[in-house]
Amino acid sequence: MLIAGLSPAFRLAANNTRIRSQLYASRLYIEGSAVRKMSKSTPPKVFITRRVPDRGPALLKSECTVTQWDSDEPISREELLSKVQGVDGLFCLLTEKIDAELLDAAGPNLKVVGTMSVGYDHVDLVACAERGVKVGFTPNVLTSAVAELTVSLLLATSRRLKEGIRAVENGSWGTWKPMWLCGPGLDGSTVGIIGMGRIGMAVARCLQPFGVARFVYSDFDEQPKARDIGAEFLPLDEVIASADFLLACCALTSETKGMFNMDLFKKMKNTAVFINTSRGGVVQQDDLYKALVSGEIAAAGLDVTTPEPLPTNSPLLKLDNCVILPHIASATHKARSAMSELTAKNILAGLKGQTIPSEITA
């Protein structure tokens, strides 16, 4: 970075990331190609779009002027467009669409957006890059929590926990019956994973002790770490056809949007269980409903739907063989707190012109 209007020694120092952060800490911070003095009365402004675990806001408040949408409910679009005006940093969630309109409403001060999520399908990365806005996200810190919930959902669905709990509660339990509420077990099964990334891999590791006979997966490329558990990299159709449990662990992209459709469900075993903890948008929900009713597949477990919340009159909710959770895969105290902290660290680094700990690039 070329820094104009400064002595050569100062310029050299300011080009060093470590020294730059010290300059920032002493209220001298780098903006674009110039170093300008930042008075103690004008720290950068950051807007937080919701109540979030305290670690992130506390970190930000130590160096920035923070305003926050003080509610557990999302901010309206109109209010958001107004609140972001003139901010330097934005702390958002997956419920906020970060697009050209919002970036323009924020204006030229905006340097960094930190989303408290690992999914970033709500962020227009090209629009951010065009305006020089850095984007941070929260991979890794939620991986175990999401893997744990994916396994819970798989077991709840395959072992018919929803029907069992309902029977206990409504008195239809009756006597012990040899063939009542049976479902497929994991022991000896084939588990298929679409998207063997951080979460896909963690789910496979969690499932190993259940006696899974075979892990198969589809991704863009073979994932070397998957060899550790003997997982086989196969063409998509082979994964779909061989899986007793098929797990969507991929990101929502233009390629994966709606990929779990009737064509795909028809290629699955009639006895197979489908689990989605990715994003609702990867599934054609009407097709899933038909596949569950017609017996193309045995059951489905979803942590994510379209829309969210799913309307209570959704036909999927009437099905015994469909278990739906309210997008809680990362909902452990530890994961949410770490997500909040990492989002704040991403924003602080972006404000200082430092390398963002977890940056997404277009």
Catalytic residues: 327
C-alpha–C-alpha distance, residues 129 and 198, integer Å: 25
- Tell me: does residue 278 bind ligand NAD (CB under 6 A): yes
- Tell me: does residue 336 bind ligand NAD (CB under 6 A): no
For the bound state, the minimum distance from the C-beta of residue 252 to ligand NAD, rounded and expressed in Å, comes to 6
For the bound state, the minimum distance from the C-beta of residue 77 to ligand NAD, rounded and expressed in Å, comes to 22
Q: Which is nearer to ligand NAD, 99 or 148 (CB)?
A: 148
- Tell me: does residue 251 bind ligand NAD (CB under 6 A): yes
Adjacent-strand bridge partners of 138: none
Are the C-beta atoms of residues 251 and 259 closer than 8 Å to each other?
Answer: no
For the bound state, the minimum distance from the C-beta of residue 312 to ligand NAD, rounded and expressed in Å, comes to 20
For the bound state, the minimum distance from the C-beta of residue 166 to ligand NAD, rounded and expressed in Å, comes to 24
Q: Which two tokens stand for residue 303?
A: 């942590």
- Tell me: does residue 196 bind ligand NAD (CB under 6 A): yes
Long-range contacts of 233-242 (CB under 8 A, 24+ apart): 233/196, 236/194, 237/267, 239/192, 239/193, 239/194, 240/192, 240/264, 240/267, 240/268, 241/267, 241/268, 241/269, 242/190, 242/192, 242/214, 242/216
- Tell me: does residue 68 bind ligand NAD (CB under 6 A): no
Q: Kindly tell me which residue out of 52, 59, 112, 194 binds ligand NAD, with binding defined by CB under 6 A.
A: 194
Are the C-beta atoms of residues 103 and 135 closer than 8 Å to each other?
Answer: no
Q: Which two tokens stand for residue 195?
A: 């998207």
For the bound state, the minimum distance from the C-beta of residue 45 to ligand NAD, rounded and expressed in Å, comes to 29
- Tell me: does residue 303 bind ligand NAD (CB under 6 A): yes
Q: Which residue is nearest to ligand NAD (CB)?
A: 197
Contact letters for ligand NAD, residues 120-149 (x by CB under 6 A): -------------------x--x---x---
C-alpha–C-alpha distance, residues 260 and 285, integer Å: 9
C-alpha–C-alpha distance, residues 279 and 283, integer Å: 8
Total residues binding ligand NAD (CB under 6 A) = 30
Q: Kindly tell me which residue out of 59, 90, 118, 356 binds ligand NAD, with binding defined by CB under 6 A.
A: 118
State the residues that interact with ligand NAD by CB under 6 A.
118-119, 139, 142, 146, 194-200, 218-220, 249-253, 255-256, 277-279, 303-304, 327, 329-330
